[in-house]
Amino acid sequence: MLRLTKKADYGLMALKYLAEQAFVAEHAGPNATGARSAKDIAEAYHIPPQLLAKILQTLARAGLLVSHAGTNGGYALARSAANISAFEVIRAIDGPLFITSCITIHGTCDLAGHCTIKEPLRKVNDSITDLLAGIKIADLIEPTDHLPAAMAGGLVSIER
Amino acid sequence: MLRLTKKADYGLMALKYLAEQAFVAEHAGPNATGARSAKDIAEAYHIPPQLLAKILQTLARAGLLVSHAGTNGGYALARSAANISAFEVIRAIDGPLFITSCITIHGTCDLAGHCTIKEPLRKVNDSITDLLAGIKIADLIEPTDHLPAAMAGGLVSIER
DNA sequence: CCATGTACGACCATTTCAGTCTTGCTTCCG
DNA sequence: CGGAAGCAAGACTGAAATGGTCGTACATGG
Ligand code: SF4
Ligand code: SF4
């Protein structure tokens, strides 16, 4: 059920890494960008560099990252870490796929008409979306004992 | 992202159908069982009968349905419709798969050690689980304008 | 004993995922 | 200027999951 692709997984990791870099850069000096090359990130987490590169490209195209080519180039967050949600990352990488086949592209599932379960499921889907949207990558940077904000406060409406 | 398999989809539909049957049976007479054959359900929703049969068998094995072979046999809910959660159905059909590769079987993902994103993701996973667990099949039987209980009340803690 | 129905497993086609390779373009730096 | 470092983009491949079929065996009511 509900599987997150490894690519999205990698994407999240990379984002987190860049967020950390941005954080230290901010405290290091005014002209530090926090940019890192795809290779650097890949090495840090032991994931295939080429694959990560492609993921980062996708993320950049989606506007979540800014890229800079050439020597000493690399990627950096386009926005503040607290301003990028896990949902955006996932959607950028895996596409606007949702739990059922019918929700995104109207007409995919041939049982559209006589499906009685579609509407309720759409609500569930929305709930999950909201949940994910409420989680920012800044939330997953803390040192594990301090709960992420979205989770610490603890309540998320699933009404939509 | 987060895709629900079609089998689970079918399973949910069948469950809902059975729930409806149980409801009318209850109001029809004391000895009405509400049992329906796999073929009946498949025809009602235009889904491949053989496939549905297999799904129902799985569900029965998981204890969500009771089956009765022979003429006039079929499947019926093992419990009350308000007492079966969507989560159980999905898990019974798709297995205990979860969003990341690491959560269920400890040791699947080879990056286990240096993965910094694992714990936060586990929390997200739990949140989704809770959300799903809070949705009973009775909730998706209502005539669409009345929101399911789990959604109407509207608040679910994602702290775990 | 036979029609109806479940039970179970093997099988197959198609799609998706994960990962690699190749080729080209951009920018910095000496 | 000219390379090295780096991004950009696409084609391609192997492996796995999905969705679905078939065949056979067993149970049960009439
Ligand atoms: S229309 Fe119904 S059966 Fe088809 S994908 Fe949507 S929920 Fe599933
Ligand atoms: S250990 Fe990290 S990379 Fe591996 S599956 Fe879990 S979250 Fe993803």
Could you report the average pLDDT of every consecutive run of 10 residues in chain B (160 residues)?
A: 89 93 75 78 93 96 94 93 93 87 70 79 89 90 50 37
What per-residue confidence (pLDDT) applies to B74? 93
Closest-CA distance of chain A to residue B113, Å:
10
pLDDT, one tens digit per residue, over A52-66 is 999 999 999 999 999
Closest-CA distance of chain A to residue B19, Å:
13
pLDDT, one tens digit per residue, over A10-19 is 999 999 999 9
- The pLDDT of A93-115, averaged and rounded, is 76
The pTM assigned to this predicted structure is 0.85
pLDDT at A117 > cutoff 90: no
Ligand nearest to the CA of A5: 2
> What's the one-letter identity of residue A149?
A
Residues 6+ apart with CB under 8 A from B45: A111, A114, A115, B10, B13, B14, B17
- Please name the CATH architecture into which domain A6-96+137-150 falls: Orthogonal Bundle (1.10)
Task: Return the DSSP state at B137.
Answer: G
Separation of alpha carbons B159 and B28, rounded Å: 44
When pLDDT is cut at 50, 70 and 90, the band that residue A30 belongs to is: low
> What's the one-letter identity of residue A74?
G
Q: Which of the listed ranges A84-88, A98-102, B127-131, B148-152 does the model predict with the highest average pLDDT?
A: A84-88
- Give the end-to-end CA distance of chain A in Å, rounded to a whole number: 23
What per-residue confidence (pLDDT) applies to B149? 40
Residue B55 parent element (H or E) = helix B49-61
**Atom 6 of ligand 2, nearest CA residue:** B102
| Ligand 1 site residues, Cβ closer than 6 angstroms | A 100-102, 109, 111-112, 115, 117-118, 121; B 9
Q: How far is the CA of B137 from the C1' of D1 (A)?
A: 72
Is pLDDT larger for residue A33 or for residue A135? A135
- What's the whole-number average pLDDT of chain A? 82
Structure-token pair, residue A106? 């109207």
Q: Which nucleotides of strand C come closer than 7 angstroms to any CB of the protein? A: 3-10, 17-22, 25-29
**Atom 4 of ligand 1, nearest CA residue:** A109
What per-residue confidence (pLDDT) applies to B17? 93
When pLDDT is cut at 50, 70 and 90, the band that residue A39 belongs to is: very high
What per-residue confidence (pLDDT) applies to A52? 96
- For chain A, domain boundaries: 6-96+137-150
Using an 8 Å CB-CB cutoff, list chain B residues near A131: 124, 127-128, 131, 158
Is pLDDT larger for residue A107 or for residue A60? A60
Quick one: closest CA in B to A97, which residue?
B1
How many helices (H) and strands (E) are present in chain A, helices listed first? 6, 3
Is pLDDT larger for residue A158 or for residue A134? A134
* Ligand 1 mean position, distance from CA B145 (Å): 19
Separation of alpha carbons B64 and A109, rounded Å: 26
Cβ-Cβ pairs closer than 8 A, A with B, add up to 155
Separation of alpha carbons B51 and B57, rounded Å: 10
Closest-CA distance of chain B to residue A138, Å:
11
